Structure 1
Amino acid sequence: MATVLPHLTTIGFDADDTLWQSEQYFGIAHEEFVGLLADFADREALLAHLLETGMRNVRSHGFGMKTFTFSMIETAIEISGGKVPAHTIGRILAIGKEILSHPVELLPGAGETVEKLAGSYRLVLITKGDLFHQESKVEQSGLKGMFEAVEIVSEKSADTYARAFSRHGDGPASSMMIGNSLKSDVIPALQVGSWGVYVPHHLTWVYEHAEAPLHEPRFREIEGLVELPALLEALK
Protein backbone atom coordinates (compact mmCIF):
# COMPACT_ATOMS: atom_id res chain seq x y z
CA MET A 1 0.00 0.00 0.00
CA ALA A 2 1.41 3.44 -0.92
CA THR A 3 2.31 5.81 1.87
CA VAL A 4 -0.09 8.74 1.99
CA LEU A 5 1.74 12.04 1.91
CA PRO A 6 -0.93 14.73 1.60
CA HIS A 7 0.81 17.57 3.40
CA LEU A 8 4.32 17.66 1.94
CA THR A 9 4.88 21.31 1.05
CA THR A 10 8.60 21.92 1.58
CA ILE A 11 11.71 20.19 0.27
CA GLY A 12 15.17 20.91 1.61
CA PHE A 13 18.28 20.23 -0.46
CA ASP A 14 21.85 19.83 0.68
CA ALA A 15 24.38 21.48 -1.65
CA ASP A 16 27.89 19.98 -1.67
CA ASP A 17 27.93 16.55 -3.35
CA THR A 18 24.13 16.62 -3.62
CA LEU A 19 23.61 19.44 -6.12
CA TRP A 20 27.22 20.02 -7.16
CA GLN A 21 30.65 18.42 -6.90
CA SER A 22 32.75 19.14 -3.82
CA GLU A 23 34.57 16.17 -2.32
CA GLN A 24 36.39 15.33 -5.56
CA TYR A 25 38.38 18.54 -5.20
CA PHE A 26 39.42 17.57 -1.69
CA GLY A 27 40.55 14.24 -3.13
CA ILE A 28 42.73 16.02 -5.70
CA ALA A 29 44.21 18.12 -2.89
CA HIS A 30 44.92 14.96 -0.87
CA GLU A 31 46.96 13.47 -3.72
CA GLU A 32 49.10 16.56 -4.19
CA PHE A 33 49.54 16.92 -0.43
CA VAL A 34 50.84 13.34 -0.21
CA GLY A 35 53.36 14.09 -2.95
CA LEU A 36 54.52 17.31 -1.30
CA LEU A 37 55.19 15.56 2.03
CA ALA A 38 56.54 12.27 0.65
CA ASP A 39 60.00 12.91 2.14
CA PHE A 40 58.56 13.00 5.66
CA ALA A 41 55.99 10.18 5.81
CA ASP A 42 54.21 7.58 3.71
CA ARG A 43 50.76 8.02 2.23
CA GLU A 44 48.84 6.18 4.94
CA ALA A 45 50.49 8.07 7.79
CA LEU A 46 49.96 11.43 6.09
CA LEU A 47 46.31 10.88 5.31
CA ALA A 48 45.59 9.46 8.77
CA HIS A 49 47.22 12.48 10.42
CA LEU A 50 45.38 14.86 8.10
CA LEU A 51 42.04 13.18 8.84
CA GLU A 52 42.59 13.36 12.60
CA THR A 53 43.67 17.00 12.37
CA GLY A 54 40.80 17.89 10.08
CA MET A 55 38.15 16.32 12.31
CA ARG A 56 39.59 18.15 15.31
CA ASN A 57 39.65 21.47 13.49
CA VAL A 58 36.10 21.07 12.19
CA ARG A 59 34.88 21.07 15.78
CA SER A 60 36.55 24.41 16.52
CA HIS A 61 36.61 26.16 13.12
CA GLY A 62 33.70 24.64 11.20
CA PHE A 63 33.49 22.96 7.81
CA GLY A 64 34.95 24.18 4.56
CA MET A 65 38.04 24.59 2.43
CA LYS A 66 39.66 27.13 4.74
CA THR A 67 39.60 24.70 7.66
CA PHE A 68 40.91 21.97 5.37
CA THR A 69 43.79 24.22 4.28
CA PHE A 70 44.64 25.02 7.91
CA SER A 71 44.63 21.29 8.59
CA MET A 72 47.01 20.54 5.71
CA ILE A 73 49.45 23.18 6.96
CA GLU A 74 49.21 21.98 10.55
CA THR A 75 49.75 18.38 9.46
CA ALA A 76 52.75 19.34 7.32
CA ILE A 77 54.41 21.13 10.23
CA GLU A 78 53.71 18.35 12.72
CA ILE A 79 54.58 15.40 10.47
CA SER A 80 57.87 17.04 9.44
CA GLY A 81 58.83 18.12 12.96
CA GLY A 82 58.80 21.72 11.79
CA LYS A 83 61.17 21.05 8.87
CA VAL A 84 58.70 21.48 6.03
CA PRO A 85 60.07 24.09 3.57
CA ALA A 86 58.38 27.45 3.22
CA HIS A 87 57.76 26.83 -0.49
CA THR A 88 55.80 23.69 0.41
CA ILE A 89 53.62 25.67 2.81
CA GLY A 90 53.15 28.19 0.01
CA ARG A 91 52.01 25.47 -2.36
CA ILE A 92 49.54 24.12 0.22
CA LEU A 93 48.05 27.60 0.52
CA ALA A 94 47.80 27.78 -3.26
CA ILE A 95 45.95 24.45 -3.37
CA GLY A 96 43.36 25.82 -0.97
CA LYS A 97 42.92 29.01 -2.98
CA GLU A 98 42.58 27.08 -6.23
CA ILE A 99 39.76 24.97 -4.84
CA LEU A 100 38.02 28.02 -3.37
CA SER A 101 37.96 29.57 -6.84
CA HIS A 102 37.03 26.42 -8.76
CA PRO A 103 33.89 26.77 -10.93
CA VAL A 104 30.74 25.04 -9.69
CA GLU A 105 30.01 21.75 -11.45
CA LEU A 106 26.41 20.59 -11.08
CA LEU A 107 25.80 16.89 -10.58
CA PRO A 108 23.76 14.99 -13.21
CA GLY A 109 20.08 15.88 -13.04
CA ALA A 110 20.49 18.52 -10.34
CA GLY A 111 19.39 21.53 -12.33
CA GLU A 112 16.53 19.78 -14.09
CA THR A 113 15.18 18.26 -10.88
CA VAL A 114 15.25 21.49 -8.90
CA GLU A 115 13.59 23.36 -11.77
CA LYS A 116 10.89 20.71 -12.11
CA LEU A 117 10.00 20.76 -8.41
CA ALA A 118 10.21 24.51 -7.88
CA GLY A 119 6.69 25.08 -9.18
CA SER A 120 5.09 22.46 -6.96
CA TYR A 121 6.98 22.71 -3.66
CA ARG A 122 8.63 25.32 -1.49
CA LEU A 123 12.36 24.61 -1.95
CA VAL A 124 14.97 25.45 0.68
CA LEU A 125 18.73 25.07 0.31
CA ILE A 126 20.33 24.00 3.60
CA THR A 127 24.11 23.72 3.48
CA LYS A 128 27.02 23.95 5.89
CA GLY A 129 30.49 25.36 5.45
CA ASP A 130 32.30 28.65 5.07
CA LEU A 131 29.73 31.42 4.59
CA PHE A 132 31.54 33.34 1.84
CA HIS A 133 32.48 30.22 -0.15
CA GLN A 134 29.00 28.70 0.10
CA GLU A 135 27.35 31.98 -0.92
CA SER A 136 29.66 32.15 -3.93
CA LYS A 137 28.83 28.59 -4.99
CA VAL A 138 25.10 29.19 -4.64
CA GLU A 139 25.39 32.25 -6.89
CA GLN A 140 27.52 30.43 -9.48
CA SER A 141 25.24 27.41 -9.58
CA GLY A 142 22.43 29.23 -11.34
CA LEU A 143 19.93 27.60 -8.97
CA LYS A 144 19.53 30.33 -6.38
CA GLY A 145 16.37 31.78 -7.90
CA MET A 146 14.59 28.43 -7.60
CA PHE A 147 14.95 28.35 -3.82
CA GLU A 148 12.63 30.35 -1.60
CA ALA A 149 15.32 30.40 1.09
CA VAL A 150 19.01 29.59 1.53
CA GLU A 151 20.30 28.54 4.96
CA ILE A 152 24.09 28.36 5.43
CA VAL A 153 24.79 26.80 8.82
CA SER A 154 27.88 25.82 10.80
CA GLU A 155 26.50 22.36 11.58
CA LYS A 156 23.40 20.32 10.81
CA SER A 157 21.38 18.87 13.66
CA ALA A 158 17.77 18.03 14.44
CA ASP A 159 17.33 21.59 15.72
CA THR A 160 18.67 22.93 12.42
CA TYR A 161 15.87 21.24 10.50
CA ALA A 162 13.20 21.99 13.07
CA ARG A 163 14.00 25.71 12.80
CA ALA A 164 14.50 25.81 9.03
CA PHE A 165 11.32 23.93 8.18
CA SER A 166 9.30 25.93 10.67
CA ARG A 167 10.72 29.23 9.40
CA HIS A 168 10.43 28.51 5.69
CA GLY A 169 7.74 25.83 5.55
CA ASP A 170 4.82 24.37 7.44
CA GLY A 171 6.96 22.53 9.99
CA PRO A 172 9.13 19.40 9.89
CA ALA A 173 6.25 16.94 9.40
CA SER A 174 5.35 18.62 6.12
CA SER A 175 8.95 18.68 4.90
CA MET A 176 11.54 16.46 3.26
CA MET A 177 15.34 16.71 3.30
CA ILE A 178 17.48 15.48 0.41
CA GLY A 179 21.22 14.88 0.76
CA ASN A 180 24.28 12.69 0.35
CA SER A 181 25.10 12.52 4.06
CA LEU A 182 23.17 10.13 6.28
CA LYS A 183 24.74 11.73 9.34
CA SER A 184 24.07 15.39 8.48
CA ASP A 185 21.20 15.46 6.00
CA VAL A 186 19.00 12.46 6.59
CA ILE A 187 19.10 11.23 10.19
CA PRO A 188 18.64 14.65 11.89
CA ALA A 189 15.70 15.41 9.59
CA LEU A 190 14.08 12.09 10.44
CA GLN A 191 14.55 12.84 14.13
CA VAL A 192 12.20 15.83 13.92
CA GLY A 193 9.58 14.01 11.86
CA SER A 194 10.59 15.05 8.34
CA TRP A 195 11.15 12.74 5.41
CA GLY A 196 14.80 11.97 4.74
CA VAL A 197 15.98 10.99 1.25
CA TYR A 198 19.53 9.71 0.86
CA VAL A 199 21.30 10.28 -2.47
CA PRO A 200 24.70 8.52 -2.18
CA HIS A 201 27.82 10.14 -3.55
CA HIS A 202 30.82 7.87 -4.04
CA LEU A 203 33.24 10.36 -2.45
CA THR A 204 31.38 11.29 0.75
CA TRP A 205 33.84 12.22 3.52
CA VAL A 206 34.28 9.60 6.26
CA TYR A 207 33.08 12.17 8.84
CA GLU A 208 29.62 11.97 7.25
CA HIS A 209 29.28 8.19 7.33
CA ALA A 210 26.51 6.55 9.37
CA GLU A 211 24.31 3.48 9.30
CA ALA A 212 21.27 3.77 7.06
CA PRO A 213 18.13 4.14 9.24
CA LEU A 214 16.25 1.41 7.41
CA HIS A 215 13.75 1.06 10.25
CA GLU A 216 12.51 4.62 9.80
CA PRO A 217 9.23 4.71 7.81
CA ARG A 218 10.08 8.12 6.33
CA PHE A 219 13.53 7.10 5.08
CA ARG A 220 14.09 6.59 1.37
CA GLU A 221 17.17 6.11 -0.84
CA ILE A 222 17.53 6.99 -4.51
CA GLU A 223 20.47 6.57 -6.84
CA GLY A 224 20.35 10.10 -8.24
CA LEU A 225 18.30 13.28 -8.18
CA VAL A 226 16.62 12.39 -11.44
CA GLU A 227 14.68 9.75 -9.46
CA LEU A 228 13.26 12.27 -6.99
CA PRO A 229 10.17 13.41 -8.95
CA ALA A 230 9.09 9.79 -9.43
CA LEU A 231 9.60 9.09 -5.73
CA LEU A 232 7.42 12.06 -4.81
CA GLU A 233 4.69 10.84 -7.14
CA ALA A 234 4.86 7.35 -5.67
CA LEU A 235 4.49 8.70 -2.13
CA LYS A 236 1.32 10.66 -2.87
Structure 2
Amino acid sequence: MGVLMPHTGQVLVFDADDTLWENNVLFERVIHDYLNWLRHPTLDQAQLRAVLDDVQRANAVTHGYGSRMLLRSLGDCVEKLCGRPATAQELSEIEELAAVLVGYRVELIADVAETLSVLSGRHTLLMLTKGNREEQQRKIDGSQLAHHFKAIDIVDEKDAATYRSFVAEHGLTPATSWMIGNSPKSDILPARAAGMNAVFIPNDHTWVLEHSELDPADDAVLRLRTFRELLDHF
Protein backbone atom coordinates (compact mmCIF):
# COMPACT_ATOMS: atom_id res chain seq x y z
CA MET A 1 0.00 0.00 0.00
CA GLY A 2 1.32 3.46 -0.84
CA VAL A 3 1.72 6.36 1.57
CA LEU A 4 -1.58 7.85 2.67
CA MET A 5 -1.91 11.59 3.04
CA PRO A 6 -2.59 12.32 6.71
CA HIS A 7 -6.15 13.47 7.25
CA THR A 8 -8.58 13.55 10.13
CA GLY A 9 -11.74 11.68 10.96
CA GLN A 10 -10.68 8.05 11.05
CA VAL A 11 -10.80 5.56 13.93
CA LEU A 12 -7.49 4.02 14.97
CA VAL A 13 -7.75 0.94 17.17
CA PHE A 14 -4.54 -0.04 18.95
CA ASP A 15 -3.34 -3.33 20.31
CA ALA A 16 -1.41 -2.94 23.57
CA ASP A 17 1.16 -5.66 24.37
CA ASP A 18 4.18 -5.46 22.05
CA THR A 19 2.54 -2.63 20.09
CA LEU A 20 2.45 0.15 22.69
CA TRP A 21 4.80 -1.40 25.23
CA GLU A 22 7.21 -4.31 25.42
CA ASN A 23 5.69 -7.45 26.91
CA ASN A 24 6.69 -10.77 25.41
CA VAL A 25 10.42 -10.08 25.75
CA LEU A 26 9.92 -10.59 29.51
CA PHE A 27 8.06 -13.85 28.94
CA GLU A 28 10.87 -15.02 26.64
CA ARG A 29 13.45 -14.34 29.34
CA VAL A 30 11.47 -16.48 31.77
CA ILE A 31 11.11 -19.26 29.19
CA HIS A 32 14.84 -19.14 28.41
CA ASP A 33 15.69 -19.56 32.10
CA TYR A 34 13.04 -22.27 32.47
CA LEU A 35 14.40 -24.34 29.56
CA ASN A 36 17.88 -24.14 31.08
CA TRP A 37 16.42 -25.18 34.44
CA LEU A 38 14.68 -28.25 32.96
CA ARG A 39 17.94 -29.95 31.97
CA HIS A 40 16.14 -32.77 30.18
CA PRO A 41 18.35 -35.84 29.57
CA THR A 42 17.34 -36.45 25.93
CA LEU A 43 15.57 -33.39 24.49
CA ASP A 44 17.41 -30.26 23.40
CA GLN A 45 16.08 -26.76 24.00
CA ALA A 46 14.31 -26.52 20.65
CA GLN A 47 12.46 -29.76 21.35
CA LEU A 48 11.60 -28.65 24.88
CA ARG A 49 10.31 -25.33 23.53
CA ALA A 50 8.08 -27.17 21.07
CA VAL A 51 6.54 -29.13 23.96
CA LEU A 52 6.02 -25.95 25.97
CA ASP A 53 4.43 -24.20 22.98
CA ASP A 54 1.95 -27.05 22.64
CA VAL A 55 1.11 -26.82 26.34
CA GLN A 56 0.61 -23.05 26.12
CA ARG A 57 -1.51 -23.38 22.98
CA ALA A 58 -3.87 -25.73 24.82
CA ASN A 59 -3.90 -23.69 28.03
CA ALA A 60 -4.66 -20.45 26.19
CA VAL A 61 -7.96 -21.93 25.06
CA THR A 62 -9.13 -22.76 28.58
CA HIS A 63 -7.14 -20.37 30.78
CA GLY A 64 -6.62 -17.28 28.63
CA TYR A 65 -3.41 -15.30 28.33
CA GLY A 66 -0.85 -13.63 30.53
CA SER A 67 1.58 -14.49 33.29
CA ARG A 68 -0.78 -16.82 35.14
CA MET A 69 -1.28 -18.94 32.06
CA LEU A 70 2.48 -19.08 31.49
CA LEU A 71 3.12 -20.11 35.08
CA ARG A 72 0.51 -22.86 34.81
CA SER A 73 2.03 -24.00 31.52
CA LEU A 74 5.52 -24.24 33.00
CA GLY A 75 4.20 -26.60 35.66
CA ASP A 76 2.12 -28.57 33.17
CA CYS A 77 5.14 -28.95 30.91
CA VAL A 78 7.06 -30.63 33.75
CA GLU A 79 4.16 -33.03 34.18
CA LYS A 80 4.03 -33.80 30.46
CA LEU A 81 7.76 -34.44 30.23
CA CYS A 82 8.11 -36.41 33.48
CA GLY A 83 4.81 -38.25 33.49
CA ARG A 84 4.00 -36.96 36.97
CA PRO A 85 2.80 -33.71 38.53
CA ALA A 86 5.46 -31.11 39.35
CA THR A 87 6.60 -31.35 42.97
CA ALA A 88 6.11 -28.53 45.46
CA GLN A 89 9.83 -27.79 45.22
CA GLU A 90 9.70 -27.65 41.43
CA LEU A 91 6.67 -25.35 41.49
CA SER A 92 8.45 -23.08 43.95
CA GLU A 93 11.50 -22.89 41.71
CA ILE A 94 9.29 -22.16 38.69
CA GLU A 95 7.62 -19.31 40.59
CA GLU A 96 11.06 -17.87 41.33
CA LEU A 97 11.95 -18.02 37.64
CA ALA A 98 8.73 -16.18 36.76
CA ALA A 99 8.97 -13.56 39.53
CA VAL A 100 10.15 -10.95 37.02
CA LEU A 101 6.64 -10.89 35.52
CA VAL A 102 5.09 -9.64 38.76
CA GLY A 103 5.08 -5.88 39.25
CA TYR A 104 7.49 -5.05 36.44
CA ARG A 105 7.65 -1.48 35.18
CA VAL A 106 5.93 -0.89 31.84
CA GLU A 107 8.45 -0.05 29.10
CA LEU A 108 6.92 1.91 26.24
CA ILE A 109 8.09 1.17 22.72
CA ALA A 110 10.07 3.99 21.12
CA ASP A 111 8.08 7.12 20.16
CA VAL A 112 4.73 5.69 21.30
CA ALA A 113 3.78 8.47 23.73
CA GLU A 114 4.72 11.27 21.35
CA THR A 115 3.02 9.64 18.37
CA LEU A 116 -0.22 8.99 20.24
CA SER A 117 -0.26 12.59 21.42
CA VAL A 118 -0.28 13.81 17.82
CA LEU A 119 -2.67 11.16 16.50
CA SER A 120 -5.23 11.82 19.23
CA GLY A 121 -5.61 15.33 17.86
CA ARG A 122 -6.34 14.02 14.37
CA HIS A 123 -8.39 10.88 14.91
CA THR A 124 -10.46 8.90 17.40
CA LEU A 125 -8.23 6.43 19.22
CA LEU A 126 -9.46 3.20 20.82
CA MET A 127 -7.56 0.37 22.50
CA LEU A 128 -8.39 -3.33 22.15
CA THR A 129 -6.24 -5.70 24.19
CA LYS A 130 -6.62 -9.32 25.26
CA GLY A 131 -5.59 -11.09 28.42
CA ASN A 132 -6.28 -11.25 32.12
CA ARG A 133 -8.32 -8.16 32.95
CA GLU A 134 -6.49 -7.27 36.17
CA GLU A 135 -3.08 -7.79 34.61
CA GLN A 136 -3.89 -5.79 31.48
CA GLN A 137 -5.41 -2.96 33.50
CA ARG A 138 -2.26 -2.78 35.63
CA LYS A 139 -0.17 -2.37 32.48
CA ILE A 140 -2.54 0.23 31.05
CA ASP A 141 -2.35 2.23 34.27
CA GLY A 142 1.43 1.91 34.36
CA SER A 143 1.77 3.08 30.77
CA GLN A 144 0.06 6.43 31.51
CA LEU A 145 -1.43 6.34 28.01
CA ALA A 146 -5.10 5.86 28.82
CA HIS A 147 -5.99 9.53 28.37
CA HIS A 148 -5.30 9.26 24.64
CA PHE A 149 -8.10 6.73 24.12
CA LYS A 150 -11.82 7.34 23.88
CA ALA A 151 -12.46 3.75 25.03
CA ILE A 152 -10.39 0.77 26.16
CA ASP A 153 -11.67 -2.79 25.82
CA ILE A 154 -10.01 -5.79 27.50
CA VAL A 155 -11.20 -9.07 26.00
CA ASP A 156 -10.46 -12.77 26.48
CA GLU A 157 -9.72 -13.43 22.81
CA LYS A 158 -9.24 -11.40 19.65
CA ASP A 159 -10.85 -13.30 16.79
CA ALA A 160 -13.13 -12.20 13.95
CA ALA A 161 -16.22 -12.44 16.18
CA THR A 162 -14.56 -10.15 18.73
CA TYR A 163 -13.87 -7.55 16.07
CA ARG A 164 -17.39 -7.70 14.71
CA SER A 165 -18.76 -7.15 18.20
CA PHE A 166 -16.27 -4.34 18.77
CA VAL A 167 -17.31 -2.62 15.53
CA ALA A 168 -20.98 -2.89 16.48
CA GLU A 169 -20.49 -1.79 20.10
CA HIS A 170 -18.59 1.34 19.17
CA GLY A 171 -20.60 2.14 16.04
CA LEU A 172 -17.56 1.97 13.77
CA THR A 173 -17.51 2.18 9.99
CA PRO A 174 -15.06 -0.59 9.03
CA ALA A 175 -13.89 1.19 5.87
CA THR A 176 -12.57 4.13 7.92
CA SER A 177 -11.36 2.09 10.88
CA TRP A 178 -7.86 0.69 11.30
CA MET A 179 -6.58 -2.01 13.65
CA ILE A 180 -2.94 -1.37 14.52
CA GLY A 181 -0.82 -4.13 16.02
CA ASN A 182 2.13 -6.50 15.93
CA SER A 183 0.29 -9.83 15.79
CA PRO A 184 -0.85 -11.25 12.45
CA LYS A 185 -3.00 -13.81 14.29
CA SER A 186 -4.76 -11.53 16.77
CA ASP A 187 -4.56 -8.06 15.25
CA ILE A 188 -4.37 -8.17 11.48
CA LEU A 189 -6.18 -11.24 10.14
CA PRO A 190 -9.30 -11.14 12.35
CA ALA A 191 -9.66 -7.37 11.86
CA ARG A 192 -9.55 -7.86 8.11
CA ALA A 193 -12.11 -10.67 8.41
CA ALA A 194 -14.40 -8.17 10.13
CA GLY A 195 -13.97 -5.69 7.27
CA MET A 196 -11.55 -3.31 8.99
CA ASN A 197 -8.30 -2.02 7.55
CA ALA A 198 -5.11 -2.91 9.41
CA VAL A 199 -1.62 -1.65 10.13
CA PHE A 200 1.05 -4.24 10.84
CA ILE A 201 4.01 -3.04 12.92
CA PRO A 202 6.20 -6.09 13.60
CA ASN A 203 7.95 -6.62 16.92
CA ASP A 204 11.03 -8.84 17.05
CA HIS A 205 9.76 -10.37 20.29
CA THR A 206 6.24 -11.26 19.17
CA TRP A 207 5.09 -14.53 20.77
CA VAL A 208 5.54 -17.48 18.43
CA LEU A 209 1.88 -18.47 18.84
CA GLU A 210 0.86 -15.06 17.44
CA HIS A 211 2.71 -15.63 14.17
CA SER A 212 0.75 -16.19 10.97
CA GLU A 213 1.16 -15.47 7.28
CA LEU A 214 -0.29 -12.27 5.84
CA ASP A 215 -1.53 -11.96 2.27
CA PRO A 216 1.04 -9.78 0.45
CA ALA A 217 -1.63 -8.82 -2.08
CA ASP A 218 -4.02 -7.42 0.55
CA ASP A 219 -3.82 -3.68 -0.08
CA ALA A 220 -5.94 -2.94 3.01
CA VAL A 221 -2.98 -3.91 5.21
CA LEU A 222 -0.40 -1.18 5.70
CA ARG A 223 3.01 -2.48 6.75
CA LEU A 224 5.27 -0.19 8.74
CA ARG A 225 8.66 -0.62 10.37
CA THR A 226 8.24 1.70 13.34
CA PHE A 227 5.41 3.15 15.41
CA ARG A 228 6.41 6.71 14.53
CA GLU A 229 5.72 6.05 10.83
CA LEU A 230 2.01 6.18 11.66
CA LEU A 231 2.34 9.97 11.54
CA ASP A 232 3.23 9.77 7.84
CA HIS A 233 -0.01 7.95 7.04
CA PHE A 234 -2.54 9.26 9.55
TM-score by length of structure 1 reads 0.90
Give the Å deviation of 1:216. Answer: 1.8
2:11 aligned partner: 10
1:49 aligned partner: 51
- Show CA shifts across 1:106-149 (max 9, x none): 00111111111111111111011111100000000010111111
Decide whether the 8 Å contact of 1:9 with 1:170 is kept in 2: no
Q: In structure 2, do the counterparts of structure 1 residues 16 and 103 end up closer, same or farther at CA, with 3 Å as the change threshold?
A: same
Superposed, 1:1-236 pairs within 5 Å as 8-40=9-41, 41-82=43-84, 85-232=87-234
Decide whether the 8 Å contact of 1:100 with 1:133 is kept in 2: no
**Structure 1: segments with no counterpart, 5+ residues:** none
**Structure 2: segments with no counterpart, 5+ residues:** none
Give the Å deviation of 1:169. Answer: 4.7
Question: Sequence identity, in percent?
Answer: 31
12-21 or 190-199, which deviates more: 190-199
Decide whether the 8 Å contact of 1:36 with 1:88 is kept in 2: no
SS at match of 2:98: helix
Q: In structure 2, do the counterparts of structure 1 residues 223 and 169 end up closer, same or farther at CA, with 3 Å as the change threshold?
A: farther
Aligned AA (1:22): N
What is the aligned-residue RMSD (CA, Å)? 2.1
Decide whether the 8 Å contact of 2:188 with 2:199 is kept in 1: yes
> Once superposed, which parts of structure 1, at least 4 consecutive aligned residues long, lie more than 6 Å away?
1-7
Decide whether the 8 Å contact of 1:113 with 1:229 is kept in 2: yes
Decide whether the 8 Å contact of 1:162 with 1:172 is kept in 2: no
Q: In structure 2, do the counterparts of structure 1 residues 152 and 76 end up closer, same or farther at CA, with 3 Å as the change threshold?
A: same
CA distance in 2, matches of 1:216, 1:122: 24
CA distance in 1, matches of 2:15, 2:149: 12
TM-score by length of structure 2 reads 0.91
The number of aligned residues is: 232
Decide whether the 8 Å contact of 2:13 with 2:179 is kept in 1: yes
Question: Larger relative contact order (C-alpha < 8 A, sep ≥ 6)?
Answer: 2
Decide whether the 8 Å contact of 1:175 with 1:194 is kept in 2: yes
